[in-house]
Structure 1
Amino acid sequence: MATIGLLVVFPFLMAFAAANDLLTMLIPNRISVLLIAAFAAVAATGLLSWGEIGAHVGAGALVLAVTFSLFAFGVIGGGDAKLAAATALWLGMDHLPDYLLIAALAGGALTLGLLAARAQPLPHAVARLPFALHLHDAKTGIPYGIALAAAALVVLPETLLWTRALGV
């Protein structure tokens, strides 16, 4: 069960969150809820001690508190805040700094790339796609869920959860 959660469920939900954010500029609540439920199922397999589970829950709670403050000030979207917190639950305190640093760097690169693309006219081939028009609009935000998902997939293989589940 733990291996399926790590190798199938987590990556699928990360990819789904990124694609959904790219296409709709929304990250549905069900993605974060499924991430939390899947973590609970993986944790129930006994891969983590109660203390380690507590540290993982603490990481999620800390990220939720910080990201919801950022959401309240209009810095990030609510879906991004919930996705980051649900992802931190999987990664735990030990790898939280790595996740946040990689997400920040990926988010910065994504922002710069999108701003550069918005400065150019859309090619005719994509100008008819509603999501491309919306994404190209300067009033539209940045689909930061892409950076959050990418950072999560980079960091997860370094975690204790991964090492124990796959016996690496």
Structure 2
Amino acid sequence: MQVSEVILLGLYPTALCAAIGSDLARRIIPNLVVLILLAGFAALLFLMPLPDLSLRLLVAGAVTALGFSLFAENLIGAGDAKLAGAVMLWVDPLQVPAFLAASGILCGLLTLAAAAERRQMRARSAFGILAHSQSLPYGVALAGAGLLLHPFSSLLQAA
């Protein structure tokens, strides 16, 4: 197995799974996960020709800027903004609409799950006080969409 295949089939999915686990457990996406995604993509630059590199960089930059705009408005966390930009490097530019749809659907499912959990907690509590965070783990939707689209990536065909 070549190094590029190890990165594509091992490092990328593992980093996304780590982001999902951490976001669910602690509502934090560690900077190390984002750095691993960035370093893995940088390593691919030296190991193989990357399709649509300039467009990937443009989309990732735009998504990062949008993410930090949403963070400034306190709509998402900084970890979500950083993760979104890093994941967009790995997503084919032509897959961006599918990525948005998949992450939107996953966000909707997370919202439904959180609402059901809150409803269940209110039923158990005499005072209706919620113990859990009011925020949604958007990193789960972002990383989940990245995992769903990964098998169809042009990066895998180029490796």
1:121 to partner: Cα distance: 2.8
Secondary structure, counterpart of 1:44 in structure 2: helix
**Matching residue of 2:11:** 9
**Matching residue of 2:107:** 107
Is 1:41 aligned with 2:43?
yes
- With normalisation by structure 1, the TM-score equals 0.83
- Contact 1:157 1:163 survives alignment (8 Å): no
**Matching residue of 1:81:** 81
**Matching residue of 2:59:** 59
Gaps of 5+ in 1: 125-135
> What is the number of residues matched between the two proteins?
151
1:13-64 deviation digits (Å, cap 9, x = unpaired): 0000000011111111111111011001112112325xx2211111210110
- For 1:102 and 1:38, the matched residues in 2 are separated by 23
Runs of 4+ in 1 over 4 A off after TM superposition: none
**Matching residue of 1:161:** 155
Letter of the 1:85 counterpart = G
**Matching residue of 2:95:** 95
Letter of the 1:58 counterpart = L
- Contact 2:19 2:33 survives alignment (8 Å): yes
Is 1:144 aligned with 2:146?
no
Secondary structure, counterpart of 1:141 in structure 2: coil
1:139 to partner: Cα distance: 4.3
Q: Aligned match of 2:26 in 24, 27, 41?
A: 24
1:138 to partner: Cα distance: 5.2
- Contact 2:4 2:48 survives alignment (8 Å): no
- For 1:151 and 1:60, the matched residues in 2 are separated by 15
60-69 vs 139-148, which deviates more?
A: 139-148
- With normalisation by structure 2, the TM-score equals 0.88
